[in-house]
Amino acid sequence: MRIIRYDALIEAPWKNGGGVTRDVASDSVDDDPIWRLSIADVKQDGPFSNFAGMVRILTVINGHGMALESKQGTIDARGWTPVRFDGALNIYGHLTSGPLTNLNLMFNPDYCDGNVAVLQGPHQQSLKPASNRGLSAFCLSGTLDLNADIVLYPGDTAMVDTHDCEMTLKAGDAALLVTIDLINLSD
């Protein structure tokens, strides 16, 4: 298990100046991106970057949300509610009420499928990674206990990739469980 502390993440400004992003983790095959997990601070309304060939799951983790507008319609991205959309959509984001922070999972559907689920305490779960499944636990609020000896705080992530892990959330705690199921890597 790899623990990634929020305060160890490196900020990188967006090209359009509308915010900053922090890469949490990613993977690729022969320089083709398979998936990427990142945290973004959105300071103002503006266009989303084009990630053609990728699927995005965006979860507002702090703030009041935003409306993601495209020719296909509007997606309401509210707090702690994962929304899934095509990375090639020409989206313009309108903040609902001030700046926000979101967790983004982007993945190439030719190589994998992804999912983001919200878990709220009290909750206990065994996380069982497999050779074709990666799991990440992201602390939203309170604390997230792993194997009774590792504590995550808001913004911290645990990459559970080789051994089973026991996850515990107490009443008032919340986390995101990110699942990545790999496919077609032998093609």
Is the distance from CB of 125 to CB of 119 less than 8 angstroms? Answer: yes
**Per-residue pLDDT, 62:** 95
Do 58 and 116 belong to one domain? no
The tokens for 51 are 């990630």
**The domain boundary residue, chosen from 43, 74, 107:** 107
Do 13 and 69 belong to one domain? yes
Q: What span, in angstroms and rounded, lies between the C-alpha atoms of 87 and 34?
A: 13
pTM of the model: 0.93
Do 63 and 141 belong to one domain? no
**For residue 1, is it within any domain?**
no
**For residue 162, is it within any domain?**
yes
Query: Best-predicted range by mean pLDDT among 7-16, 78-87, 158-167?
Result: 78-87
Indicate the average pLDDT of the chain. Answer: 92
**Per-residue pLDDT, 132:** 87
**Mean of pLDDT values over 55-66:** 96
More confidently predicted of 114 and 33: 114
More confidently predicted of 16 and 140: 140
Residue 12 structural domain = 7-107
Do 98 and 174 belong to one domain? no
DSSP state of 130: B
**Per-residue pLDDT, 184:** 64
**Mean of pLDDT values over 49-53:** 90
* The residue to which tokens 């590792």 are assigned: 150
Pairing verdict, β 165-169 and 123-127: antiparallel
**For residue 187, is it within any domain?**
no
**Mean of pLDDT values over 53-66:** 96
Amino acid, single-letter form, for residue 69: E
Q: Give the pLDDT band of residue 86 (cuts 50, 70, 90).
A: very high
More confidently predicted of 50 and 22: 22
Q: Give the pLDDT band of residue 186 (cuts 50, 70, 90).
A: low
**The domain boundary residue, chosen from 107, 139, 167:** 107
Sequence-ordered list of residues with C-beta below 8 angstroms from that of 179, at least 6 positions apart, any chain: 114, 115, 116, 117, 133, 134, 135
Do 77 and 166 belong to one domain? no
**Per-residue pLDDT, 29:** 85
Say yes or no to pLDDT of 187 above 50: no
**The domain boundary residue, chosen from 85, 107, 129:** 107
The number of folded domains in the chain is 2
CATH label of the domain that carries residue 56: 2.60.120.10
The burial class, CB within 10 Å (0-12 / 13-18 / 19+), for 72 is exposed
